[in-house]
Structure 1
Amino acid sequence: FDTVEELREDVTKQARQAKLFAQGVQARDKILELLLDTVPFDVPQGMVEHEVHHHL
């Protein structure tokens, strides 16, 4: 960055993007939780293992 202002703008932009991403993840998790609470079904073990590995 050539100036402190450019650095400040970039950090602000990254913070906004991170917040939007986190909000999207939170919304997805709420939808999945609602589905799991209302729709009975068996989840294949391979899918469970994949998701656990993906989130670690």
Structure 2
Amino acid sequence: MPYTTEEGGRLNNFAVEPKVYTAEPPSNAQKRNYVIGGVAGAVLVAALVFVAVAVSGAS
């Protein structure tokens, strides 16, 4: 682990920095999966709201 010695004999530890890389744009298959996941999430939220309204008896 890299460290330096400061005045007074104290050690100062530094975290190891991760390797930096550039992100790649999503492929068409990944984009499709994001859309499918978004639609599935929206349907789930809508179903939960419907069930909550139906159970509460609100008119």
Q: TM-score, normalised by structure 2?
A: 0.52
Distance in 2, matches of 1:26 and 1:18, equals 12
% identical aligned pairs: 17
Structure 1: stretches of 5+ with no match in the other structure:
38-56
Query: Following TM superposition, by how much is the alpha carbon of 1:25 offset from its aligned partner in structure 2, in angstroms?
Result: 0.2
- Max radius of gyration: which structure? 2
Distance in 2, matches of 1:9 and 1:28, equals 28
Letter matched to residue 38 of structure 2:
Q
Q: Write 1 or 2 for the structure with the bigger share of helix.
A: 1
Bigger relative CO (Cα 8 Å, ≥ 6 apart): 2
Structure 2: stretches of 5+ with no match in the other structure:
1-24
The aligned residue for residue 22 of structure 1 is 46
1:2-45 superposed Cα distances (whole Å, 9 cap, x missing partner): 21111000000010011011000000000111xx58xxxxxxxx
| Structure 1 stretches of at least 4 aligned residues deviating more than 6 Å after TM superposition | none
The aligned residue for residue 9 of structure 1 is 33
